[in-house]
Amino acid sequence: MRPTTTLLRPLGLCLALAAAGAHAAAAAAATPDLPRIVEKDGRHALMVDGAPFLVLAGQAHNSSNYPRALPKVWAAMKDARANTLEIPVSWEQIEPQEGRFDFSYLDTLVQQARANKLRLVLLWFGTWKNTGPAYTPEWVKLDNRRFPRMLDAEGKPSYCLSPFGTATLAADKKAFVAMMAHLRKIDAAQRTVIMVQVENEVGTYGLERDHAPAAQAAFAGPVPAAVLARQKAPRPGKAAGSWTEVYGDYAGQYFHTWAIARYIEEIAAAGRAVYDLPMFVNNALRDPGPLPAPPWKSDFASGGPTYDVIGIYKAAAPHIDFAGPDIYMPESGKVGATLERFQRPDNALMVPEMGNAAGYARYVYQILGRGALGVAPFGIDYASYSNYPLGAKATDRRMVEPFGAVYAAFGPMARPWAQWAFEGRTHGVAEGDDRAPQTVAMDGWSATVSFREFQFGERQYLRDKNEYASGTDTPNGGVAFAQTGPNEFVLVGQQVRVKLGGTGANAGKPSMFVRVEEGSFDADGKWVMERNWNGDQTDYGLNLPATPTVLKVRMGTYEP
């Protein structure tokens, strides 16, 4: 089964539904749709309660998955204006003794999330967490005979558990299934939990693949047909045959990727069989350098769903909806290249983690403008812990506020935004490290977005040409557009100047702003105007201030 489904129901199903009568309709109303990811024309939406949902999330710190730690999480999530919390559920906490499950934390988490009006994305910390076994129960992590670690070519064990450990897979799967069954019991009616991440940043550092006997035998065997169909060799080898024959220098990494993906598939498929929520994997990035990516050289975690092997995950783990990038590379060029490589017709874009330093907040516009399902800065939690230099130094409101301001602007229009994104109407940019203007091509219109401008006047009016608007010392501008009609746009952004000009059918025609309203959407999705921008506020383009601002813009052309 491919979990990613299209919105269009097959005709036979529609007829069957129609014939089923009032009883079936009543039953369907009583058990509304579970969250699911749908695809249409290569774009994706996360359907929650029957409509596209935009995930404006924050991820809690790794150790905040305990009831007494939660108040500091809820407080930060509130300031972040998030609608979803991503938080771990670890194997060690639900099954501290083999076969004895304790779901008290999960019960508290789900109840308190509801009280805080938040949805949840659960992160299953099992066999692999940042590649290591730290979150497995003691009875797993200390018993290498039953739960073997990977072996190198000399037979020396690695820190990382082997994807060929059949007892490890069986035990992880059993715990995961128990969790999903419990979740169905406590949450199927309300669907507070909307997605589940299976394992966390899988792969292995320092060792390309397992050399245990079972792994050696599989490595010498043929590449499965499904992998051949989805993953091309970067350098042409044999069309079929052993991993080395087909993939040459890439064989070790590709084989390990397949082994881990297959392991995850078994867990995800079993979990979905009891409670069918969307599931995904996250990825510790490899540098998005020039293509084709060179073979593994100890420079990233082999076996993880890096951008170069998404095809293997698609082939081996069809119950995983998507692989998402964890973005901790702050450079704008790398962020852009990473988003491009993970957003594919067969892979919905969702950023399950991103640094929480202020400079990352601008990327929310780029990510949501690209039509992502959502985004989650990491460490949105008032625990006294800073993961600087990956994230912010501050652990208080100063850390949360840059994201809270952006989410506050998107929040009221999250549902329509997700719908517009699914229809391919949205675009977004984040200020680049080079601070240079960028253009956004839309239907009949092109936007030029520039940065570091004063709100009034042009740069040539300045006596000191090196003078820049205050608050722009480091890149922090961003804007996202939704084209809601042929000449109509909703814009949300900060620290940018936007000018629009006609293209396509409007090319060469003089144009102007017909109406520019600043305002927001109310709880029913109705636009509420605060003021109409005109005169100074539109004479030099649309100059969005440091506080994220939402505009409803209508453009027009006139005869020259």
Distance CA 322, CA 188 (A): 22
Sorted by sequence, the CB contacts under 8 Å of residue 550 that are 6+ apart come out as 409, 413, 490, 491, 492, 518, 519, 520, 521
CB of 398 to ligand DGJ, least distance (A): 18
Sorted by sequence, the CB contacts under 8 Å of residue 212 that are 6+ apart come out as 148, 150, 151, 162, 164
Distance CA 191, CA 194 (A): 6
- CB-based contact 556:514 (threshold 8 Å): yes
Asked if residue 472 binds ligand DGJ (CB under 6 A), the reply is no
CB of 77 to ligand DGJ, least distance (A): 17
The residue among 47 and 310 lying less far from ligand DGJ, judged by its C-beta, is: 310
Asked if residue 446 binds ligand DGJ (CB under 6 A), the reply is no
Residues in the chain: 560
The residue among 64 and 162 lying less far from ligand DGJ, judged by its C-beta, is: 64
The DSSP annotation for 81-145 comes to T-SEEEEEEEHHHH-SBTTB---HHHHHHHHHHHHTT-EEEEEEEEEEETTB-TTS-HHHHT-TT
Residue appearing with tokens 């084209």: 483
Which helix (H) or strand (E) is 268 found in, with range? helix 251-274
Q: Cis peptide leading into 295, omega within 30 of 0?
A: no
CA dihedral (501, 333, 281, 142) in degrees, to 10, reads -160
Per CB under 6 A, the list member of 108, 216, 387, 484 interacting with ligand DGJ is 387
CB of 86 to ligand DGJ, least distance (A): 10
> Residue 164: beta bridge partners?
none
Which helix (H) or strand (E) is 333 found in, with range? helix 332-342
Per CB under 6 A, the list member of 79, 92, 199, 353 interacting with ligand DGJ is 353
CB of 101 to ligand DGJ, least distance (A): 23
Asked if residue 200 binds ligand DGJ (CB under 6 A), the reply is yes
CB of 231 to ligand DGJ, least distance (A): 24
The residue among 62 and 366 lying less far from ligand DGJ, judged by its C-beta, is: 62
**Buried b / exposed e across 367-399, counting CB within 10 Å, b at 16+?**
bbbbbbbbbbbbbbbbbeebbeebbbeebeeeb
Asked if residue 388 binds ligand DGJ (CB under 6 A), the reply is no
Distance CA 339, CA 216 (A): 35
The residue among 353 and 431 lying less far from ligand DGJ, judged by its C-beta, is: 353
> Kindly report the CA angle at 33 between 409 and 485, in degrees rounded to 5?
40
CB of 391 to ligand DGJ, least distance (A): 7
Write phi, then psi, for 429 (nearest 5 degrees): -135, 155
The residue among 65 and 520 lying less far from ligand DGJ, judged by its C-beta, is: 65
Per CB under 6 A, the list member of 48, 58, 60, 62 interacting with ligand DGJ is 62
Asked if residue 75 binds ligand DGJ (CB under 6 A), the reply is no
DSSP three-state, residue 323: strand
CB of 203 to ligand DGJ, least distance (A): 11
Q: Which residue is nearest to ligand DGJ (CB)?
A: 387
CB of 285 to ligand DGJ, least distance (A): 10
The residue among 62 and 438 lying less far from ligand DGJ, judged by its C-beta, is: 62
The residue among 310 and 408 lying less far from ligand DGJ, judged by its C-beta, is: 310
Rule CB under 6 A: which of 113-142 touch ligand DGJ? 130
Per CB under 6 A, the list member of 378, 382, 403, 521 interacting with ligand DGJ is 378
CB of 319 to ligand DGJ, least distance (A): 21
The residue among 200 and 347 lying less far from ligand DGJ, judged by its C-beta, is: 200
DSSP three-state, residue 378: strand
CB of 387 to ligand DGJ, least distance (A): 4
Task: Write the CA distances from 30 to 17, 24, 54, 225, integer angstroms.
Answer: 15, 10, 24, 42
The residue among 88 and 416 lying less far from ligand DGJ, judged by its C-beta, is: 88
Per CB under 6 A, the list member of 326, 381, 431, 453 interacting with ligand DGJ is 326
Asked if residue 201 binds ligand DGJ (CB under 6 A), the reply is yes
Residues touching ligand DGJ, count (CB under 6 A): 9
CB of 378 to ligand DGJ, least distance (A): 6
Asked if residue 390 binds ligand DGJ (CB under 6 A), the reply is yes
CA dihedral (158, 386, 109, 141) in degrees, to 10, reads 20
Tell me the Ramachandran region of residue 378: left when phi exceeds 0, alpha when psi lies from -120 to 50, beta otherwise. beta
The residue among 327 and 440 lying less far from ligand DGJ, judged by its C-beta, is: 327
Helix runs in 144-241, H state only: 166-187, 213-220, 225-230
CB of 59 to ligand DGJ, least distance (A): 8
The residue among 230 and 334 lying less far from ligand DGJ, judged by its C-beta, is: 334
Residues that bind ligand DGJ (CB under 6 A): 62, 130, 200-201, 326, 353, 378, 387, 390
